[in-house]
Amino acid sequence: MSKILIIGNSVAGTYAAKTINDIDNTQEITILSCESYPFYSRPRLPEFLADKIPLEKLYIFSPEFYEKRGINLQLNTQVTSIDAVSHTVTTQDGVSYSYDTLLLANGSSASLPPIEGISQDWVFSLRTIDDVLRIKEYAQGKKEVIVIGGGLLGLEAANGLRQLGLNVRVVEFFDRLLPRQIDQEGSDILKSVFEEIGFCFELGAVTQKVTEVDGVKKVILKDGKTFSADFVLVSAGIKPNIDLAESAGLAVNKGIVVDDFMKTSDKDIYAAGDVAEHANRIYGIWPAADEQGKAAGENIEEKEKKYTGTVLSTKLKVLGIDMASLGDISAEGVSEYKRVDASSRLYQKLFVKDDCIIGAILVGDVKKAFSLQAYIKDKVNIKGYEERILMPDFDLRG
């Protein structure tokens, strides 16, 4: 029996623990989490923000799940250092835990852009349950909010705040919404949906300063435009939590560098999820954390499970409009195939290279998302079928 220690209790850490336990339920598994809650769904935080679901509905595994499997879950436990030589980690309370194998699944934090005044206490980010609780408390009795960031989380958070009764203005650096997931034409459709219910947008806008003058909170753009609000929410991506690994002497870049078996530069330490960098890529998405966590679990159990990457996928649903973005939509030298119906807000596009689909955008109808994701992952040759793939009743695999 080995001592397996996991730092982090989100997707990668929990599914790694479950995978290990499924293979060998005699292993001694301990999970250390700095949060106060068992494994929960971060993608559903905007629903919790909007008071659409209670806290309990966020939980994916209850405390009983860990107890039943004999997994020792320690909440409110912040790890401050790793000693790779003595195989121990130490917490902020001075408690030490020893390990035979360590998995770093300590995720990421909200990234704050270098904007003057960004650290003020009325500027929030949305990454954890505690973040939501702070925002909801502060938002009581407020009317106006500015969201800096028009990406996926920014839009979902903005919609959650709107459902709380706030007027929302979104400020986005790029010239379109969801700049990493969608092209201009698809973005315009989504933008019109938001505008119909009262959202205001400033696109191609650089936020220069966040300040408070005579009790009035303001966001000042580089072009001189100024907007007032009761508070600000920043959604500008994530930053992998690499400090622990770096201080322990592990190889890091933007994330903790791992090989195809999720192993770090130390043979007894693995990494998975948002904190891990595989093949020069940090995914920052749930499916990748899931796959990496399970792969790490299998490899810790010496099953030699090779991780070859995850097909990028993003999904959003706002006011009944579904959107999905799959694979690579920014590659050069591709052929594009579209299906558009403006009256029903339908917009679908395929990106094809070397007779294979490498990316797809679906707005209004995402029924084909699963099959298209499989085509991308399996590099299915679609030569001769390019014009038909998006038709409602067509299935390449019969």
In the chain the domains, ranked by start, together with CATH numbers, are 3-109+238-300 (3.50.50.60), 123-234 (3.50.50.60), 313-378 (3.30.390.30)
Q: Tell how strand 207-213 and strand 108-110 pair up.
A: unpaired
Give the integer Cα–Cα distance in Å for 78 and 90: 9
Query: In this predicted model, what pLDDT tens digit does every residue of 76-127 receive, in sequence order?
Result: 999 999 999 999 999 999 999 999 999 999 999 999 999 999 999 999 999 9
Q: Any residues with CB less than 8 A from the CB of 67 and at least 6 apart, and which?
A: none
Give the integer Cα–Cα distance in Å for 183 and 165: 30
The rounded average pLDDT for each run of 10 residues, N- to C-terminus, in the chain (398 residues) is 94 98 96 96 94 95 93 97 98 97 97 93 96 96 96 91 95 92 89 88 96 94 96 95 97 98 98 98 95 98 94 80 90 92 88 96 92 92 91 76
Give the integer Cα–Cα distance in Å for 164 and 143: 10
Query: How many helices (H) does the chain have, and how many strands (E)?
Result: 9, 25
Beta bridge partners of 347: 340, 363
75, 87 in Cβ contact below 8 A? Answer: no
The pLDDT of residue 51 is 95
Helix (H) or strand (E) holding 49: helix 45-49
Angle at CA of residue 23, ends 17 and 28, nearest 5°: 50
153, 235 in Cβ contact below 8 A? Answer: yes
Give the integer Cα–Cα distance in Å for 171 and 162: 15
The pLDDT of residue 148 is 97
Give the global pTM. Answer: 0.91
222, 214 in Cβ contact below 8 A? Answer: no
The upper half-sphere exposure of residue 9, i.e. CA atoms within 13 Å in the direction of its Cβ, equals 29
The pLDDT of residue 397 is 66
Give the distance, in angstroms, between the CA of residue 156 and the centroid of all CA atoms in the same chain: 12
Token pair in block for residue 214: 């005579």
3-state secondary structure at position 120: coil
Query: Looking at this protein, which amino acid is placed at residue 226?
Result: T
- For every residue of 249-303, DSSP letters joined together read T--BSSSEEE-TTSB-SSTTEEE-GGGEEETTB---SHHHHHHHHHHHHHHHTT-
How far are the Cα atoms of 85, 195, 333 from residue 177, in angstroms, in the given order? 47, 12, 24
71, 62 in Cβ contact below 8 A? Answer: no
Largest CA distance in the chain: 67
The pLDDT of residue 398 is 57
Taking the CA atoms of 55, 56, 59 and 63 in sequence, report the sign of the dihedral they define: positive
- Say which DSSP state 381 is in: B
**Residue 164 dihedral angles phi and psi, to the nearest 5°:** -80, -5
Give the integer Cα–Cα distance in Å for 17 and 26: 12
Give the integer Cα–Cα distance in Å for 189 and 348: 11
Angle at CA of residue 197, ends 313 and 226, nearest 5°: 90
How far the first Cα of the chain sits from its last, in Å, is 48
